[in-house]
Amino acid sequence: MNNTPHPSWATLPADEIRRHAREECDLAILPLGSIEQHGPHSPAGVDDFNAIGLATRVAERTRAMVLPCPMYGSHPYHHWHMPGTIPLSYETHIALITDIVRGAAVAGYNKFILLSAHGQVSTTTVAVHKLGLEGYFTLSLHWYDFLRDDRHVLEDYMWHADEAETSMGLYLYPEYIDMGKATKGGGQPLVDHRFVIAPGQVPQPGMMYHFEGTFARPEYKELENGVIGDPTRATREKGEQLVMTVVDQISALIGDIMSRYPVGTKPPVA
């Protein structure tokens, strides 16, 4: 029996999955995270837990189907070789996403959202366009892009294992966060900070995302504790505000999609 308050693919029999697509909602959300070190105070599954937490709360509001999170993800080059982080190759992750969407479509789902809580635009964007060529309506969403501007909640912008991610952990899975081990981190780009967009920041002229260049030193050489930012500033209340902001925005997006293309209607991608 399915006891979750949201539609969850992994806990439902196939007949119920198909019925849901026919009668309730034919949009499926694929949570995407990673196995990545997040300092001494947070678990390596932070990005997965954040993606799943956001997806389930969106599904509670919208009745969208939540696909199982594949747990592993792709990583920018500077994350590689860091103990605790297990990156997939870019080709593997692209293939993983495209195969999941193709498989879910067989059950009657016509719209897909890739909801990432990890910086992996280099693969999700490619996957979206490969799927578009096959006629699939797919959106790639990274949670921090729904926080412009997140300084109304945080003392600093989101970086890594920092105030933002730790606050979300304190709200979503506090049993895995040890604030007694939280310490401020470091890390400096190879160009001036004014040229680098922080996740959750409103971009200014001349700024680049971290995935648009190789202007970060490898983390295993750069970071002493695996942290960029200051997790000691984290609170549960900040985490709740971040989560609710993202959930509100994505739920509104899904409402727009479903109003334009009701259950059973495939958006005219091809």
Crossing angle of the two packed helices 236-260 and 163-172, in degrees rounded to 10: 80
In the chain, the amino acid numbered 202 is: V
Are 136 and 111 within 8 A, CB to CB? no
Strand locations in 143-244, DSSP E? none
Span 105-150, pLDDT tens digits: 999 999 999 999 999 999 999 999 999 999 999 999 999 999 888 8
As given in the structure block, the two tokens for residue 21 are: 């697509």
**Full-model pTM:** 0.96
Please check whether residue 125 lies inside any domain of the structure: yes
As given in the structure block, the two tokens for residue 122 are: 């280099």
DSSP letter (8 states) at residue 152 = G
C-alpha angle 55-258-100 in degrees, rounded to nearest 5: 50
Please check whether residue 165 lies inside any domain of the structure: yes
Please check whether residue 163 lies inside any domain of the structure: yes
Please check whether residue 266 lies inside any domain of the structure: no
Span 169-199, pLDDT tens digits: 999 999 999 999 999 999 889 999 999 999 8
Please state the rounded mean pLDDT for residues 225-231: 97
Please check whether residue 1 lies inside any domain of the structure: no
- What's the domain count of the chain? 1
Domain that holds residue 254: 9-260
Of the pLDDT bands very low, low, confident and very high (cuts 50, 70, 90), residue 250 is: very high
User: Residue 87: which CATH number?
Assistant: 3.40.50.10310
Span 48-104, pLDDT tens digits: 999 999 999 999 999 999 999 999 999 999 999 999 999 999 999 999 999 999 999
C-alpha angle 18-108-252 in degrees, rounded to nearest 5: 100
Please check whether residue 91 lies inside any domain of the structure: yes
Residues 6+ apart with CB under 8 A from 71: 33, 34, 35, 45, 48
As given in the structure block, the two tokens for residue 124 are: 């999700």
